[in-house]
Amino acid sequence: MTGPELRRTLDLSDAVAVGLSAMIGAGVFVAFGPAAAAAGSALLLGLAIAALLAYCNASSSARLAALYPQSGGTYVYGRMRLGPFWGHLAGWSFVVGKSASCAAMALTVGHYAWPAHAHAVAAATVVVLTGLNVAGVERSARVARVIVALVLAVLLAVVIVAFSSGDADPSRVFDGAGSGPFGVLQAAGLLFFAFAGYARIATLGEEVRDPERTLPRAIFTALAVALVVYALVGVALLAVLGPAGLAASAAPVADAARAAGFPVAVVTVTACVAAVGSLLALLLGVSRTTLAMARDGHLPRPLAAVDERRRVPVTAELAVGAVVTVVAAVADLGAAIGFSSFAVLVYYAVANASAWTLDATVRSRIVPAVGLAGCVLVALSLPAGSVATGIVVLVVGALSFAVTRSSNRSGTAP
């Protein structure tokens, strides 16, 4: 690694805030509807499966992040433990898949804030947040903390009002409705997408203080808080709307708030703020992985530039922001989410495979084995279009590895 390193300014609370702002974002406002459509009231079982998979991935990520506290996350872990190709594939999956996810978060802001001009609002949101990230990660971490506090407060208020309202019926939570094991797996895949934010913490490994202690604690703290929040919200939505009503809702938290007598405008504003928080953290993570890949020659080397004064990867930030702005201006929200889900599961599969190599004992390999198998199974449960598109993108990533490796061997920077 050459050039100036990033500045270590983030403490435990900052790292937890960044992770929570990625997890407790737009997903909590939109994911439960499709999950109910796939599994009915059995979506709670899907949530449990998603949480188990997230735990396995968090465990593997925490062990690896403590050993390799560098920017890049699983790109670094795969390269160090499995070889350059698998690191490249993980980094490629993350950058491409999470760029699509960034666009999805921006489009969520657009659809809530100004539906008639959703794409224009989405593109403008990306431009503004890219400027914030370029100004320095410290400011971004502070904003993430404020967003997390606001979203958690509103969600807690909605849950309390929902449970205490006359529209809540506990029998709807476990009414036995569902669509079988495949539907539960689909629900798990949709809900896991909302859990995936803890990886943002690992990608900030070069910017946290005492990373060997901070990274594992931040990952597990953020994951535990997110799980409690999602469980409470899921039960509240089922109790108020029922499985059928939840499945038919495009904005289930807002519909539940309306039925329970909670101000819908507050939920709408909060959903936009939450999506901004997710996008803020995602842009940070994608740019850091881009930086790590550029340092190793798997992406154009100018992307590895770090600003001498602010110690942030300005070129990578601007490049990622530009790509996401274009995608947000033209992409369909559903297509962006479906493609991103497949890519992020491939990313975590590489993380678990990397953690498998850390220790030869059977006990230490149970968690990464479950995580690896779960990632593959849930990825294959996604819609056929998402799987097919994801496979094509992985093939392109493999070809790009061959090209960049040949260029590096010949001494020509990609």
Q: Is the pLDDT of residue 413 over 60?
A: no
- Tokens 């996350």, residue? 73
CATH number at residue 242: 1.20.1740.10
Alpha-carbon gap, residue 329 to 123, rounded angstroms: 6
> For residue 7, is it within any domain?
no
Picking from 7-21, 263-277, 344-358, 372-386, which range would have the lowest pLDDT averaged per residue? 7-21
Name which of 156-170, 227-241, 266-280, 312-326 the model is least confident about. 266-280
How would residue 393 be classed by pLDDT, with cut points 50, 70 and 90?
very high
For the chain, give percent helix, strand, coil, nearest 5: 80, 0, 20
Residue 412 lies in a domain: no
313-371 residue pLDDT tens: 899 999 999 999 999 999 887 778 778 888 989 999 999 999 999 977 777 899 999 99
For residue 18, count CB atoms less than 10 angstroms from its CB and return exposed for 0-12, middle for 13-18, buried for 19 or more.
buried
pLDDT at position 409 is 64
Q: How confident is the model at residue 176 (pLDDT cuts 50, 70, 90)?
A: low
What is the per-residue pLDDT across 402-412, written as a single tens digit (0 to 9) for each?
Answer: 888 776 665 54
Question: What's the token pair of residue 284?
Answer: 């940070």
Residue 93: the pLDDT is 93
Q: What is the pLDDT of residue 71?
A: 64
Nearest CA to 382 among 339, 334, 332?
339
Which of the four pLDDT bands, split at 50, 70 and 90, describes residue 137? low
Number of domains into which the chain is organized: 1
Looking at per-residue confidence, does 99 or 147 come out higher? 99
Higher pLDDT, 22 or 243: 243
Closest C-alpha to 187, from 39, 16, 392: 39
pLDDT of residue 178 exceeding 80, the answer is: no
Residue 53 has pLDDT above 70, yes or no: yes
Average pLDDT over residues 127-152: 79
Which of 16-25, 149-158, 202-211, 228-237 shows the lowest mean pLDDT across its residues?
202-211
Query: 237 pLDDT band (50/70/90 cuts)?
Result: very high
3-state secondary structure 121-153: HHHHHHHHHHHHHHCCHHHHHHHHHHHHHHHHH
Whether pLDDT at 236 is above 90: yes
Q: Indicate if the pLDDT at residue 205 is higher than 70.
A: no
Per-residue pLDDT tens over the stretch 56-75: 988 898 788 778 877 667 88
Residue 372 lies in a domain: yes
Output the six-digit token pair for 119.
Answer: 């794409």
Pick the closest to residue 257 from 349, 161, 176 (CA basis).
161
Residue 343 inside a domain? The answer is: yes
Residue 407 placed within a domain? no
Task: Please report whether residue 6 resides in a domain.
Answer: no
Q: Which amino acid, residue 36?
A: A
Average pLDDT estimate for 100-104: 87
- Is 23 a member of any domain? yes
For residue 46, what are the domain limits?
Answer: 12-401
Separation between Cα atoms, residue 361 and residue 106, nearest integer Å:
44
pLDDT band with cut points at 50, 70 and 90 for residue 198:
low
- Burial of 127 per CB tally in 10 Å (0-12, 13-18, 19+): middle
